[in-house]
Amino acid sequence: MLSEVTVLFRRLRTWAMIGALALIPILIAVVVRVSSDGSASGRGPAFLNSITENGLFVSLTALTVAIPLFLPLTIGVVAGDTIAGEANLGTLRYLLVAPAGRIRLLLVKYAGAALFCFVATLTVVITGAIIGALLFPVGPVTLLSGDTVGIGGYFGRLLLLALYVTVSLMGLSAIGLFISTLTTIPVGAMAATAALAAVAQILGALPQLEWLHPWLFTNYWLGFADFLRQPIVWSSFIDNAVLQTGYIAVFGTLAYGRFSTKDILS
């Protein structure tokens, strides 16, 4: 496990992705700072207008922007690479020569992807808070309900929020893991995973498919705002966790079925 994590986080690609994610809040904050005079109210991503008053909102704006595209993209790269990457490098059979077992390898790979989800989310949130604090005034944060919390309480909520987003991405990671067991070409698995995230979001935007929406793994992705209400609404967290567990169960067992019956040739 430890070696898997060190391998993951020693790769230049991982750091490049984390760096790209960190660029999102920095870009938002700098652009707002440079053009802070005439902002059109009610336009642009959520929380954008609050940034000039309180720099801590940069985290939230960045998350809203990152969740539909950038986070799924990076998760797709990491999760799609898990098995197919080893197969492509020809290292998979050496990994399985050691008496580790295929189930354990799958679990370790999945845990690595999950850890990356958390680190990626935290990167966006923390960079957002830091750059916001550098460029804008910082103070007690106004929640969606109009109540105000102190900075300490706000960071507590941010942590919960990062956890929520991580849980949201677990289903996608499981899908990526499964796709990764199907192929020896990592790029294909990465692209397929990221494309699935896009397809699910498009389906989620069509009102004609309303019956399907509660079953899409993207359905609760923007529900993180429930942690910015006073009192906190927990129902979406629970619904989200149940849904993602379902996806993990389905695609985890599929990945097991595929990976344990597959002939490892490379």
Partner 1 sequence: MNKNWRWLPAGIVPVVIVAAAVSGSAVAEAQPQLPAKTAQELLEFVATSSDDAYSGTVEQSSDLGLPDIGMATPPGGTSSSDPTSMALELLTGDHTAQVYVDGPDKARVQVLDQLAQRDVVVNTTDAWYYDSQSNEATHAVLPDQDAAKAELEAKLQQKAAEYPELQNVPRTPAELAQTFLARIDPSTEVAVDGTSRVAGRSAYQLLLTPEDPATLIGSIAVSVDAETGVPLSVTVQAKGQEDPAFTAGFSAVDFSTPDAGIFDFTPPAGATVTEAPTADEARAKLEAEGAPAETPEQPTVIGEDWSTIVELPAGSAGQLGLDLGDGEAAGMGEIMEIKPGMDPEEVAGAQALLQQALTEVDGGKALQTSLVSVLVTDDGRILAGAVGVDQLVAAAQQ
- Which residues contact partner 1 by CB under 8 A? 41-43, 46-47, 49-50, 53, 64, 139-140, 142, 144-148, 207, 222, 225-226, 229, 231, 233, 235, 246, 249-250, 253-254, 256-257, 260-261
Q: Is 47 helix (H, G, I), strand (E, B) or coil?
A: coil
Q: Is 44 helix (H, G, I), strand (E, B) or coil?
A: coil
Quick one: 3 or 41, whose CB is closer to partner 1?
41
Quick one: 95 or 222, whose CB is closer to partner 1?
222
- Please answer whether residues 55 and 29 qualify as being in contact, where contact means their C-beta atoms are separated by less than 8 angstroms: yes
Q: How many CB atoms lie within 10 A of CB 39?
A: 14
- What tokens were used for 132? 């916001």
Number of separate helices (H) and strands (E) present in the chain = 9, 2
Report d(CA 143, CA 80) in Å as an integer: 37
Quick one: 57 or 116, whose CB is closer to partner 1?
57
Quick one: 191 or 203, whose CB is closer to partner 1?
203
CB of 120 to partner 1, least distance (A): 20
Quick one: 51 or 122, whose CB is closer to partner 1?
51
CB of 116 to partner 1, least distance (A): 25
Quick one: 33 or 102, whose CB is closer to partner 1?
102
Q: Is 69 helix (H, G, I), strand (E, B) or coil?
A: coil
CB of 145 to partner 1, least distance (A): 5
CB of 74 to partner 1, least distance (A): 22
How far the first Cα of the chain sits from its last, in Å, is: 22
The DSSP secondary structure of 112-163, one letter per residue, reads HHHHHHHHHHHHHHHHHHHHHHHHS---PEEPTTS-EE-HHHHHHHHHHHHH
CB of 148 to partner 1, least distance (A): 5
CB of 93 to partner 1, least distance (A): 17
